[in-house]
Chain A
Amino acid sequence: MIEANHIGVRKSGRWILRKAGVQVRAGELVALIGANGAGKSTLLKAVAGEVTPDEGAVSINSKILADWPAAGLAKVRAVLSQSVQLPFSMPVIDLVEMGRYPYQGQEPGGRTREIARLCLKQVGLSGYDDRDIRTLSGGEQQRAQLARVLAQVHRESESGERFLLLDEPTASQDIAQKQQLLSLLRKLADEAGLGILTILHDLNLAMQYADRVVLLRGGHLLKSGPPETVLTPEGIAQGFGLKARVVRTPGEALPHILTCPTAVDLFQNEETAIP
């Protein structure tokens, strides 16, 4: 389990994160949302260990981050930043294999390749092995990078909780790919038991796929809980300063969020049902 409580991060004398926190259990998909500048990336970096909090501490599987050896930590959690660019051409399969660095010398090279192929298949890039990574579209590159981090936490026999930290993985995907990507994450959480913490901009995706949503504003934790309790018109108004309707469509389990032009006050800020 990832536990980050009362996290505070200061940058040039100013608190950019204060009393923020998040918990991620194995098998859980947690969405981190908030307006730009709310501190999502900083919180994710603190959980990843890139930023050391000035207040509070992050622990993974009951062990404080600072106590984790680098290779051990890399085996239990993988991080995917928003845009990772390679300076040279490289076959996709080589990129994915690089994710197995923490297991170097512990598994035969053939097995590494099999795992890499499996992870490419999971992200829908089967047969892309020998393609040059730099000639793929932005969305495909992002999924190839996802395959790399999946390979990093791929386990064969040992159990133990593993986590994925993703910074806006849907950024360069089209609308269908966004759904595919989130259902893949959902599946990884459900079937492989991965704990996933992901920054999301699309509130509807958060609503449809997340177990819990953590809403940040101005570096503070505003609300946290199941999507339906956080993504309410009030929550969205507080978090984003935006009017929104949350509508239920007959035949669908989860409501949809419709954002409204702020200048036009046509709708009530409450959940309404379309007849």
Chain B
Amino acid sequence: MIQSLPKYRSLSRLLSPPVLTLLLAISALCALLIGAYSLPVQQVGLVLGERLLGLEAGLPQTLTYLVWDIRLPRILLSVFVGGGLAIAGAAVQGLFRNPLADPALIGVTSGAMVFAVAGILFSASVLGVIGSWLGYATVTVMAFTGSLLTTFLVYWLASSKGYTSVVTMLLAGVAITALGGALTGLMTYFSDEDELRDITFWTLGSLGGANWQMLALLVPLVLLPAFILWRQSSQLDLLLLGEREAAYTGVNTQRTKWIVIGCAALIVGACVAVSGVIAFVALVVPHLVRLIQGPRHRSLLLGSALLGGLLMVWADTAARTLIAPAELPIGILTALLGAPFFIWLLLKTKRSL
């Protein structure tokens, strides 16, 4: 069968980075208006004007609080978590040379979660700093350690001589996730009621706790590694040919591998620390971008970051409005949507497994 690629070209222009950025900005503004209480656009505009430009609008404090302290940080958090997870997913898929390598599916998120939960318990019961800046930092460092260790472990288990066995990779993910579940369960079992509530919140995945402190911690921990990953685009392209061919072409494969593992783990760790387990974003988004723009990482990583942020804004808006005034954990929502997609992808790649 002869198949040409140009049919994607028009779609690729349609979803170019500037267009995606514009869509993302519009979506973020829309998401500010939508919620348990829908707000008129003028009022939101006034709040933003008051806060950003220093205008005196004399708005009610509850309105300012709702827009500026509740919704805006939450929307920005969803942009960075979605974008971060997607870019990490795209890079890890490039490293593993496989579209199924989602950090959540190969156990990395689970590893981050175990360490994050341990971090929550530690900072709550020993340091007594939960909910503060130091508390977030402790959990983030722990989550990063967990994701780094598991990424390395899975890569070590699944690859030999620069080629990755998909079956081993996914099975290693199953094993690590099972172990992670058991360890989390154990810690849940021994925790008191307050800690239990915290832990449950992490494991389901939610952006509900968003605040500016969290953002201040997350943004640099996503942007910096994302930028470093993006600078490795050409090296990641060549790794698609296998480690050996990449090395023949002049790529320092060891260095690239460590940069990718380190940066992806940092992003996943930071995201897990603020939002818990949000699965399938890192799987679905890079796959869509790859279909539209091809597998070259320069456009893939950028497109994934933007589309990931875009999808997450809408997913979170849905999570907080579908059963308003109650809230659906976003991790459950993405899993409901993402799991069928994963099965479809599995069927599609069945022959090559």
Contact = CB atoms under 8 A, between A and B. Distances in A.
B2 interface: yes
A70 B246 CA distance: 11
B192 interface: no
A131 B248 contact: no
Contacts of A130: 4-6
A50 B294 contact: no
Interface string B1-26: 11111100000000000000000000
B245 A131 contact: no
B249 A86 contact: no
B294 A89 contact: yes
A178 to B, nearest CB: 23
8 contacts: A50-B244, A50-B247, A50-B248, A74-B250, A78-B249, A98-B249, A130-B4, A132-B3
A115 B98 CA distance: 29
A84 B242 contact: yes
A94 B238 CA distance: 11
Q: Is the interface of A mostly helix, strand, loop or mixed?
A: mixed
Nearest to B296: A94
A139 B143 CA distance: 47
B241 interface: yes
Contacts of B295: 86, 88-90
A97 to B, nearest CB: 9
Interface residues of A, number: 29
Contact of B249 (A50, A74, A135): A74
Contacts of B99: 87-88
B248 A87 contact: no
B251 A101 contact: yes
B294 A84 contact: no
Contact of A99 (B4, B97, B244, B249): B249
A75 to B, nearest CB: 7
A265 to B, nearest CB: 44
A57 to B, nearest CB: 19
A266 interface: no
Contact of B245 (A70, A84, A91, A132): A84
A132 B250 contact: no
Contacts of B242: 81, 84-85
A79 interface: yes
Given A89-B5, A91-B5, A78 B237 contact: no
